[in-house]
Structure 1
């Protein structure tokens, strides 16, 4: 069932009232990090000049730098552009099925990073660090093919969930188009009479629209018409309360990942909120430090109005002569500033902000190259820091993103014909990003330690004159496969079980042939020796 224009406008007002109590927190977080990302929370459109003025209020940029480091670390750890970060599994797949799924994963990954994903994804992670959430729209690029990613400003997005505590599956976006753009976008016959007149008389006049994307309660399975698909999309001209476009999607086209949920709300806050008190104190302390520095450089003076010297008109500076009745009529004063305390306090607050935003651990450390043990400890620390965050982002960001991209590519026919054995089987997304692999390093370490321990026990048994049976407990083939999967080794590098069996069978045949040839040579040599011996006896 599709909602009417009146219902959509009414629901939009309800969602606005539910989001309003949280907006001041997001506004403050953007003020101390990236003011331009908060466009819409201050005014309809923030100009670059206004963003620069807000940025100029920040005396210290530690918060901005730390937030950018955290967003970059999450981006590089989850969705790196230089390596495949996900795969597809159906469970108990054959070698042919595994090859097809790996090829599909690589095609989707190449198309994702061949689009504008890297720029939109990074800006989205800036939003999730600053405000705790973002909204990324995913669709097919109907002009050039592939994907197109559109990051919606969160100030214009209103969300809800159809199930308590569930993922966001209802998104309303309020935006404006010029009258000319509206006619070109929706067609002259679909917009209101007022918008048609504006397009002729005042084409640059702005018209407000709202786009509602939500799951349909009833839909046709396997439907091809957009109006019958599981996810509804309705665009309404707000002033006229007129539906200008009705469409639909097979999958939810908007992903809305969240950092830390606000209780009894679908919205979230980011780690910047935790560092906000320190950022405010740091900014104020730096402002006072600059004022004290001004006094320290320019100095502070006391002057006596002795009839000759008028302190109200005296200007201190180079190449200036000050006329006074006595040299004691004007003296410098000590400002009383304690720069040592301010420097210590500023450094402490900067360190606290970096620690809260994990920038002190995620950023590359200066100094000599780290040993393998130091690298392992550092990776384990990063895994502990980002592990809980990665779990939520994996469920609310990566899973729906890959699902949506797979659906678009499969319907476009760019993935080729799937094996018939995969028909009707559900697939799961398997993550092989650096962050996902780091979470499996403990499994790799456990395998290595177990195999090494069994090998040492077998050597001890052999040294004691016993049969070395300890290695009988280890399936080396399975250990090697599990280790390769945990490390994210491409399946094209790991030989299939059939190929391994053929190689071993061929090796046995070659060894058997070599042994038979050696035996024949020995028999021939013995026969020749016997013949020579008999000839000598005759």
Structure 2
């Protein structure tokens, strides 16, 4: 039995330290949110149901559109629901040749894709990508669900703190949030909530805010000699009301594996939180809004300039409407109304600079890459041409894709696989896979575009050997065509059912060679029989006359 007072004290101490690190970044996160996505981020417990008027701070929406394109590009290019984006394999290449292993892995992939489609994963991933592009850090929670196997939730920046272990992997998250008394009673029960919350609920005052803390962390006090129950699992979750007595918690539960994916765009060294594309473009976006305001003010002054008039016209009505008439005193000597100063803003140059700033923002958020890839694919060019045109930009995304693999996609697949295995939703593995840790391979559009470098190397090798065989026929024995096909199919993401195993291909090759040998032998027998027949029909008397015998 856990000592709840001790457990809660440990959580509060860690929470205070994590909050200190977290709060260093709040001001910058707020600015990023203000200029790129005003509804994102929760930096106060009461900071919910945000006023949409915050969008009024954005005059030029280039940043919003670029972020939206980044999200769509990552969703389509990395985790497209309409096509397979991952594949399971084995570290041992020889195991991949087993028919039973291939069938098992493909069935597991099919079931996992079905779970992803049935759950809300593909609704939550775009939110996760937006948090990544905006704040550099995202948080995706994956819970078990009785109906849909998994249920995913994205927590926005500012609503959680994170900490990492000695391997610089995030293994601890703490969230502070508000819930209503009605929500707490429905989730935890009337006997678990504090006396003040119970009183509010019984008085039907159920919609006020109650601050709670939810902590998920490694279970340091786990007893390995005791059975694994909800309080003795590798990871523990503690939920409590912030204002409740120190020995009271709402719930203590556990997880077999860390239930969250916390991807970071580009973590620097030992830093817990990451930088983001929007951070890099924040200065440009500020400049863009400033220049748009300046251009608008200049146009206003040019079209409706401040005026100066003689004192005699002080009480004279002035009409600035078309065909309007303003009467001037004859003693004003024709001075009348005139501009206080002449405005000659170089609108053309200012517009050109605005366009340059817009281009920089688009480039920082990879908008040009994703739009060009989309346009190129619509125009029907080959994947190789796409890769060759944008190889430099794809290489720039290489580190980001690796971060996504390690900190987002791997945890999603590992967590889902474990949940399905515990609930007997996976087929029985063949004997060859007993004790084998499976390997995850990613075959999305962006991953394949990066793999095109390896594909081109195989193609160049084949072309080189083909040219060499014309001069040196024995060179063909140096090229392993079977292995080349396997490697090419792996990098290109070809379904394993399409490519035969080496054993099956060798058997087919031997059968073909036997058929060819039999056909050749039959042909030789037919030729021999024909020769004998022709010889038997020779006129011997004619032959004797010719030979003089």
State TM-score, norm by structure 1: 0.90
Secondary structure (helix, strand or coil) at the match of 1:268 reads: coil
Q: How does 1:72-87 map to 2 (within 5 A)?
A: 72-87=72-87
Aligned residue number for residue 188 of structure 1: 190
Structure 2: gaps of 5 or more residues: 543-549
Secondary structure (helix, strand or coil) at the match of 1:328 reads: coil
Secondary structure (helix, strand or coil) at the match of 1:444 reads: helix
CA contact (8 A) 1:220 1:230 kept: no
Aligned residue number for residue 274 of structure 1: 280
Question: What is the CA deviation profile of residues 458-506 of structure 1, one whole-angstrom value per residue up to 9, with x for unaligned ones?
Answer: 22x1xxxxx5222222111111111111111110111122221232232
Residues 266 and 438 (structure 1), Cα distance of their counterparts in 2 relative to 1, 3 Å cut: same
State TM-score, norm by structure 2: 0.88
TM-superposed deviation, 1:262? 5.5
Residues 282 and 364 (structure 1), Cα distance of their counterparts in 2 relative to 1, 3 Å cut: same
Q: 1:476 aligns with which of 446, 468, 481?
A: 481
Q: 2:355 aligns with which of 347, 362, 365?
A: 347
Residues 37 and 362 (structure 1), Cα distance of their counterparts in 2 relative to 1, 3 Å cut: same
Distance 1:313 1:223 in 2: 92
Q: 1:117 aligns with which of 121, 130, 138?
A: 121
Greater mean alpha carbon deviation, residues 501-510 or residues 180-189: 501-510
Distance 2:223 2:118 in 1: 33
TM-superposed deviation, 1:518? 3.3
Matched length: 524
Aligned residue number for residue 391 of structure 2: 380
Distance 1:387 1:262 in 2: 16
TM-superposed deviation, 1:204? 1.6
Aligned residue number for residue 468 of structure 2: 457
CA contact (8 A) 1:36 1:46 kept: no
Distance 2:525 2:226 in 1: 70
Aligned residue number for residue 40 of structure 2: 37
Q: 2:337 aligns with which of 320, 330, 334?
A: 330
Question: What is the CA deviation profile of residues 178-218 of structure 1, one whole-angstrom value per residue up to 9, with x for unaligned ones?
Answer: 11111110112222222222111112222221111001123
Q: 1:160 aligns with which of 158, 163, 168?
A: 163
TM-superposed deviation, 1:264? 5.2
Residues 219 and 153 (structure 1), Cα distance of their counterparts in 2 relative to 1, 3 Å cut: farther
CA contact (8 A) 1:379 1:438 kept: no
Residues 536 and 429 (structure 1), Cα distance of their counterparts in 2 relative to 1, 3 Å cut: farther
Aligned residue number for residue 464 of structure 1: none
Aligned residue number for residue 174 of structure 2: 172
Residues 263 and 28 (structure 1), Cα distance of their counterparts in 2 relative to 1, 3 Å cut: farther
Greater mean alpha carbon deviation, residues 393-402 or residues 497-506: 497-506
TM-superposed deviation, 1:531? 6.4
Residues 535 and 386 (structure 1), Cα distance of their counterparts in 2 relative to 1, 3 Å cut: same
Q: How does 1:466-505 map to 2 (within 5 A)?
A: 467-505=472-510
Greater mean alpha carbon deviation, residues 353-362 or residues 121-130: 353-362
Q: How does 1:36-435 map to 2 (within 5 A)?
A: 36-38=39-41, 40-41=42-43, 44-48=46-50, 50=51, 52-92=52-92, 93=95, 94-95=97-98, 96-142=100-146, 144-163=147-166, 166-201=168-203, 202-217=205-220, 218-220=222-224, 224-240=228-244, 241=246, 242-261=248-267, 265-306=271-312, 309-310=313-314, 313-325=317-329, 327-332=334-339, 334-364=342-372, 369=379, 372=382, 374-435=385-446
Distance 1:435 1:255 in 2: 21
CA contact (8 A) 1:4 1:243 kept: no
Secondary structure (helix, strand or coil) at the match of 2:142 reads: strand
